């Protein structure tokens, strides 16, 4: 593997993901050096909504690494079903679709990161549009609580799914700049909810002086995320299939679509870093947070094959949800505003991700379990 514990340059000259952040012991992960190294007031109380989810768990860990006195982690799931749980945090199970729970979650808080949503990969959001739309209740009630409780800063995690679908009709897609969300033709269901919630953030900022920040995430992947059960996204789903094919001896996988669709994928550490950079910036309008390394799904499988060390036969299922033909992040604005963009190369991030997923699958098989929650992590 080319990565190093401190994120030092890998053998190919890039900065590899840090392997000290994915150990089995949560305390070791919190004792590591933080990803975000900007100046912060650690006397603040910070709330992470959606803390039991993939990105939320990584964000809670990094806030704890920075030494915040109070990190409140909130999720609808019971804590024993969270991807990452840290005893150093104030862990609460609350349904943030309900208004009173949002007020309870934000009581005494100074900063709020809203990553909470009912969502998943393409298979989930294509078949659960109403559920995705109902996430609007979470952001609306949290914004109301933020206004009434005079919260200092409020971050909302939006998505590249807000972008006009007519601009994503070819695999050879032009990178999507922030202005391309309008005229609006967002992805049905999930994308429209995200776009509406962006507008809510804008108007609460303009009308009620709530300091809001909005990032449009582009296809985040990495360890400590879902890789089975129907909500997983393409990198995790394809890695799981590759590992299962390797372990079974049947070296073939099924790819949704024809493999020519294009995407860019952002490693989760870059997402955590960028999220906090945006939170503490003066950027008031929604901004892209994603890699601009565009690959086809077939090329993604090439990367996964190398990471898993298996050669796969490929079958294509054109009946499955595929999403838009092409999507890539235009990082001009984030480079101008922050002099930064997500640095991790796909091949480096997938090495770490694939190793983690394979380890999870092997452990589950050894213990004759099927649920990722059945093995302590």
Which positions are annotated as active-site residues?
190
Distance CA 274, CA 333 (A): 13
Q: What SS3 state is found at 298?
A: helix
CB 181 within 8 A of CB 195: yes
Task: Supply φ then ψ for residue 289, to 5 degrees.
Answer: -135, 95
DSSP string computed for 329-377: B--HHHHHHHS------HHHHHHHHHHHHHHHHHHHHHTT---GGGS--
Nearest to 291 by CA among 345, 351, 353: 345
Tell me if 178 sits within 8 A of 287, measured CB to CB: yes
- Identify whether the C-beta of residue 261 lies closer than 8 Å to the C-beta of residue 325: yes
The DSSP code for 290 is: S
SS3 58: helix
Which of 75, 70, 62, 68 is CA-nearest to residue 277?
62
Token duo for residue 275: 């999220």
| Packing angle, helices 297-308 and 234-248, rounded to 10 | 50
Cα separation values, 327 from 34, 173, 186, 268, 291, Å: 31, 6, 13, 18, 11
């Amino acid at each position: 593997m080319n990565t190093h514990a401190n994120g030092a340059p890998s053998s190919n000259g890039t900065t590899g993901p840090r392997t000290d952040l994915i150990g089995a012991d949560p305390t070791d992960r919190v004792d590591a050096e933080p990803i975000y190294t900007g100046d912060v007031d650690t006397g603040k109380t910070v709330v992470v909504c959606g803390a039991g989810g993939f990105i939320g768990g990584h964000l809670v860990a990094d806030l704890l690494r920075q030494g915040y006195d109070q990190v409140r982690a909130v999720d609808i799931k019971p804590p024993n079903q969270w991807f990452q749980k840290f005893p150093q945090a104030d862990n609460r199970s609350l349904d943030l679709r309900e208004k009173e729970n949002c007020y309870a979650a934000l009581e005494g808080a100074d900063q709020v990161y809203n990553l909470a949503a009912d969502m998943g990969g393409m298979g989930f959001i294509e078949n659960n549009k109403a559920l995705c739309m109902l996430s609007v209740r979470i952001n609306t009630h949290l914004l109301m609580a933020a206004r009434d409780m005079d919260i200092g800063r409020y971050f909302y995690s939006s998505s590249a799914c807000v972008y006009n679908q007519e601009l994503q009709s070819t695999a050879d897609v032009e990178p999507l700049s922030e202005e391309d969300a309008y005229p609006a033709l967002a992805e049905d269901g999930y994308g429209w909810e995200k776009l509406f919630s962006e507008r809510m953030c804008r108007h609460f900022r303009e009308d009620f002086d709530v300091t809001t920040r909005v990032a449009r995430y582009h296809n985040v992947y990495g360890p400590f995320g879902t890789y089975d059960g129907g909500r997983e996204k393409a990198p995790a789903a394809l890695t799981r299939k590759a590992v299962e094919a390797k372990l079974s001896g049947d070296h073939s996988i099924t790819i949704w679509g024809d493999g020519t669709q294009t995407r860019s994928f952002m490693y989760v550490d870059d997402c955590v870093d960028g999220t906090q950079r945006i939170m503490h910036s003066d950027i008031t309008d929604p901004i892209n947070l994603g890699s601009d390394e565009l690959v086809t799904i077939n090329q993604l499988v090439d990367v996964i094959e190398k990471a898993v060390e298996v050669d796969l036969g490929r079958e294509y299922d054109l009946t499955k949800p595929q999403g838009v033909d092409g999507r890539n992040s235009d990082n001009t604005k984030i480079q101008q505003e922050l002099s930064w963009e997500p640095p991790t190369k796909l091949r480096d991030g997938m090495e770490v991700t694939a190793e983690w997923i394979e380890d999870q699958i092997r452990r589950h098989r050894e213990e004759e379990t099927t649920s990722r929650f059945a093995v302590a992590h």
